[in-house]
Amino acid sequence: MRVDDIAMSMAKQYEINEKDIDSVIRWLKIHDPENATPETAIEILEKMYAHVHVLSHENPELLEKIYRELTRRSK
């Protein structure tokens, strides 16, 4: 799968949802309890998504490598 295809697929498929917000809040409760709020969780998810988008333009080879590693683990 080409990096453009990966980025487009992510853009079409992902919407921030309660499950992801709750997961980030759980992580924050362990690592940064003072900021363990839904607002902070949403901000983190938005920034992560934006960083992946930038990575698809600035370092597509790295994004492809990350994608391959993640999909290999999920099988």
Could you tell me the pTM of the whole model? 0.71
User: For the chain, how long is the longest CA-to-CA vector?
Assistant: 40
The 3 state secondary structure assigned to the chain is: CCHHHHHHHHHHHCCCCHHHHHHHHHHHHHHCHHHCCHHHHHHHHHHHHHHHHHHHHHCHHHHHHHHHHHHHHCC
pLDDT digits (tens, 9 = 90+) for 5-26: 655 555 567 789 999 999 999 9
Domain count, the chain: 1
Domain that holds residue 30: 3-73
| CA distances in angstroms from 61 to 26, 56, 58, 68, listed in the order given | 31, 8, 9, 11
In this predicted structure, the answer to whether residue 74 has a pLDDT above a threshold of 70 is: no
